[in-house]
Amino acid sequence: MEETLDMKKLLTFTALPALAMVAACGPDSPREEMGDRMEERADAIEDVGNDRAEALEERADEAETDAREDMLNERAEEIDDIGDEAADEINEVADELE
């Protein structure tokens, strides 16, 4: 019983600073909310690029020739980079809004 009380005290004590921070922050402004939505959009764009790149890499693994495999892998890398760059640009704008 005493262990349970000590554990509850410990959890309460460690959670208080985090709760205080959340309370101090208050609700996001519309500008911050827009930044959050932009970050979510950036994540989605990056995920799409990653998924497309992975699909191409799988096709590359099954390619008939080494040249075709190299071409598909190169294209997969380009697509991944495009998604990453687009996400980075959106995140930069989102950071300015927050």
- Report the largest interatomic distance among the alpha carbons of the chain, rounded to a whole angstrom: 70
Q: Using alpha carbons only, give the angle 96, 80, 94 rounded to the nearest 5 degrees.
A: 10
Residue bearing the bigger pLDDT, 65 or 8: 65
Q: For residue 87, with 0-12 CB atoms within 10 Å meaning exposed, 13-18 middle and 19 or more buried, which class applies?
A: buried
Q: Which residue has the higher pLDDT, 6 or 93?
A: 93
**pLDDT tens, residue by residue, 24-78:** 566 778 999 999 999 999 999 999 999 999 999 999 999 999 999 999 999 999 9
> What Å distances lie between residue 97 and 26, 31, 32, 46, 81, CA to CA?
17, 6, 6, 20, 25
User: Among 12-21, 22-31, 71-80, 86-95, which stretch is predicted with the lowest mean pLDDT?
Assistant: 12-21
